[in-house]
């Protein structure tokens, strides 16, 4: 008889704590907000207990009537700890942020319900449980986006979100039916064990990729994510507790199935890579801190899809964990960060790197990367072409840092510090890669051997990211130039794709006056 996974108790416990808060909606909640914080702390405790249980007993699956409900493995425990921790941070922050709001109790109840649904999602052991979790998460987040229901902007954001999220749900349901029809099972462990896929299953995998792209607000249906600021700030942080990155969770959970489809992997590389480049360019032109953070999330989610498409599943999971932690903190601290920056005494003009300084920085960054990559490969064994290509893309970010230190007007101290930081970034990338592979690699499929199509996509991705990184490093030189002023305006408006979506859903219509 299978032992009950202790982590499986967390969703029910958190959801149970939401009931008295929901019943108290519309009245002063008194000390009830402390219940929300206590419930999330208990969820962290259950996740830690699940980690100990996994170490003692190994992976487990809880079934009921022949249907697999939840699973206990290293992936679910990692994501469960992440969701519970970010949920606790959000609940603690919201106690003060929403103190005195008329619907404070309702907000805490919805927050706990969202955390419970995502805790169930990351543990799902079968497609029906996965679908139920996605449906519940979408409905709850829509209510959070409409926390201030009289705001037209909030109504527009919620309308766009529920359409995009609902389309992802439909794609996931259709994929599940096709997998059941073609493979005869909805159990995730059984689905990921099939060595080859029939044509119907290939179509199902394509629908899974579509569902993941829709759930992660990929280009061109990313508009709702940039308008989440119409909800209270804790909602923006809560998104990073497994909601906006749920598409990545879906792909990682079914990675053994998805990787069988070469076309699906190629589509992930192209969709993810373009979304990452688009989001990064638009982010540069944003003047509002939270809007810039939202566009950064668009870019980061695209990069996560790119990692999945390259078959770097352990690195994609590491990306989810790292991005969730730092971006949730960034949203919650955005107000105080602006005050802190304004309070800092400005030492003088920023050192702007010229064309030659940027070119030298890219060359130096690539030399640094090759040296560190060679050292790690010699010590720890051969690296896949995909992992090395991803490192090349990431090192372009380091080149931007080096460019600041190589600017003609940069002081010597800045040059030395940027050089040290660049070396640290290169070492950290390979160190984290090794750690991620050691922790999650045995539970995930290895990266596929790169064929002609994979090599073509790798070269295209590296060249594209290199060109955009070069343009970003030269941003102070071209951003205000008269010849690029129009481009800057178009980018600041996201090439008007969000406005087109608003028009399609009737978001610009105003209600007739009484």
Q: Please give the Cα distance from 112 to 131 (Å, whole number).
A: 19
Domain boundaries, position 399: 350-478
The DSSP line for 438-457 is: HHHGGGSPPPPPP-HHHHHH
- Point out the domain boundary residue: 125, 151, 167: 125
For 427, other C-beta atoms within 10 Å of its C-beta total: 14
Q: Which of 283, 326, 208, 333 is nearest to 491 (CA)?
A: 283
Q: What's the token pair of residue 352?
A: 């702007």
Residue 380: what pLDDT?
59
Contacts (Cβ under 8 Å, ≥6 apart) of 150: none
For 5, which DSSP code?
P
Answer yes or no: is 215 within a domain.
Answer: no
Q: How do the pLDDT tens digits run along the chain, 514 residues long?
A: 457 888 888 999 898 888 887 777 655 556 667 888 889 999 999 999 999 999 999 899 999 888 889 999 999 999 999 999 999 999 999 888 887 777 888 888 899 999 999 999 999 999 999 999 999 999 999 999 988 888 888 888 888 899 999 999 999 999 999 999 999 899 999 998 888 889 899 999 999 999 999 999 888 888 788 887 778 888 888 988 889 999 999 999 999 999 999 899 999 999 998 998 888 888 888 877 888 888 889 988 998 999 899 888 998 999 999 999 988 888 888 776 666 666 665 554 555 666 677 777 777 777 777 776 676 666 656 566 677 777 777 777 777 667 766 666 666 676 777 777 777 777 777 788 888 888 998 999 888 887 788 788 888 887 787 777 777 777 766 666 676 777 777 777 777 887 787 777 775 554 444 4
Residue 405: what pLDDT?
64
Q: Please give the Cα distance from 184 to 187 (Å, whole number).
A: 9
Residue 339: what pLDDT?
66
Contacts (Cβ under 8 Å, ≥6 apart) of 348: none
- Point out the domain boundary residue: 103, 125, 147: 125
Q: Please give the Cα distance from 393 to 304 (Å, whole number).
A: 13
Q: Please give the Cα distance from 171 to 231 (Å, whole number).
A: 27
Residue 480: what pLDDT?
67
Q: How many structural domains is the chain composed of?
A: 2
Contacts (Cβ under 8 Å, ≥6 apart) of 508: 502
Residue 512: what pLDDT?
47
- Point out the domain boundary residue: 125, 146, 174: 125
Answer yes or no: is 437 within a domain.
Answer: yes
Residue 338: what pLDDT?
63
Contacts (Cβ under 8 Å, ≥6 apart) of 67: 126, 128, 186
For 403, other C-beta atoms within 10 Å of its C-beta total: 28
Residue 351: what pLDDT?
58
Q: Please give the Cα distance from 179 to 174 (Å, whole number).
A: 9
Q: Write out the H or E segment, with its range, that includes residue 137.
A: helix 127-145
Question: Are residues 300 and 306 in contact, defined by beta-carbon separation less than 8 angstroms?
Answer: no
Answer yes or no: is 388 within a domain.
Answer: yes
Residue 513: what pLDDT?
47
Q: What's the token pair of residue 126?
A: 């079968």
Provide the β-strand partners of residue 72.
Answer: 60
Q: Please give the Cα distance from 6 to 13 (Å, whole number).
A: 11
């Amino acid at each position: 008889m299978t032992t009950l996974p202790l982590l499986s108790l967390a969703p029910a416990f958190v959801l149970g704590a939401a009931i008295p808060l929901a019943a108290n909606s519309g009245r002063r909640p008194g000390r009830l907000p402390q219940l929300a914080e206590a419930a999330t702390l208990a969820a962290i405790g259950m996740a830690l207990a699940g980690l100990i249980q996994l170490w003692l007993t190994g992976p487990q699956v809880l079934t009921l009537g022949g249907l697999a409900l939840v699973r206990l493995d290293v992936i679910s425990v990692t994501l469960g700890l992440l969701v519970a921790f970010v949920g606790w941070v959000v609940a603690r922050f919201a106690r003060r942020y929403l103190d005195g709001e008329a619907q404070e109790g309702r907000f805490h109840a919805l927050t706990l319900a969202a955390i419970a649904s995502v805790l169930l999602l990351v543990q799902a052991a079968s497609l029906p449980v996965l679908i139920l979790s996605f449906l519940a998460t979408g409905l709850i987040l829509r209510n959070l986006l409409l926390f201030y229901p009289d705001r037209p902007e909030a109504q527009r954001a919620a309308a766009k979100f529920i359409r995009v999220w609902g389309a992802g749900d439909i794609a996931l349901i259709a994929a599940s039916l096709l997998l059941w029809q073609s493979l005869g099972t909805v159990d995730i462990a059984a689905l990921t064990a099939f060595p080859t896929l029939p044509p119907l299953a290939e179509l199902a995998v394509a629908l899974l990729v579509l569902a993941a792209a829709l759930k992660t607000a990929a280009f061109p249906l990313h508009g709702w994510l940039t308008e989440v600021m119409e909800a209270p700030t804790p909602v923006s942080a809560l998104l990073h507790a497994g909601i906006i990155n749920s598409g990545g969770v879906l792909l990682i959970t079914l990675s053994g199935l998805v990787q069988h489809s070469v076309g699906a992997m190629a589509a992930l590389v192209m969709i993810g890579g373009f979304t990452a480049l688009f989001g990064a360019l638009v982010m540069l032109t944003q003047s509002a801190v939270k809007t810039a953070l939202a566009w950064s999330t668009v870019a980061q989610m695209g990069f996560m899809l790119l990692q999945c498409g390259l078959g770097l599943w352990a690195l994609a999971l590491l990306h989810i964990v790292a991005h969730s932690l730092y971006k949730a903190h960034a949203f919650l601290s955005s107000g105080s960060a602006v005050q802190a920056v304004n309070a800092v005494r400005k030492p003088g003009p920023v050192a702007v790197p010229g064309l030659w300084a940027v070119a030298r920085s890219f060359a130096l960054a690539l030399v640094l990367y090759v040296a560190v990559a060679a050292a790690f490969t010699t010590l720890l064994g051969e690296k896949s072409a995909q992992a090395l290509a991803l490192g090349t893309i990431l090192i372009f970010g380091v080149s931007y840092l080096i460019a600041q230190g190589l600017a003609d007007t940069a002081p010597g101290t800045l040059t030395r510090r940027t050089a040290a930081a660049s070396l640290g970034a290169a070492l950290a990338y390979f160190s984290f890669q090794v750690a991620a592979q050691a922790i999650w690699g045995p539970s995930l499929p290895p990266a596929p051997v790169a064929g002609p199509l994979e090599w073509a996509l790798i070269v295209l991705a590296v060249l594209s990211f290199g060109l955009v990184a070069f343009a970003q490093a030269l941003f102070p030189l071209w951003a205000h130039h008269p010849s690029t002023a129009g481009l800057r305006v178009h980018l600041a408006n996201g090439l008007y794709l969000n406005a087109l979506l608003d028009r399609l859903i009737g978001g610009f219509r105003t209600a007739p006056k009484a």
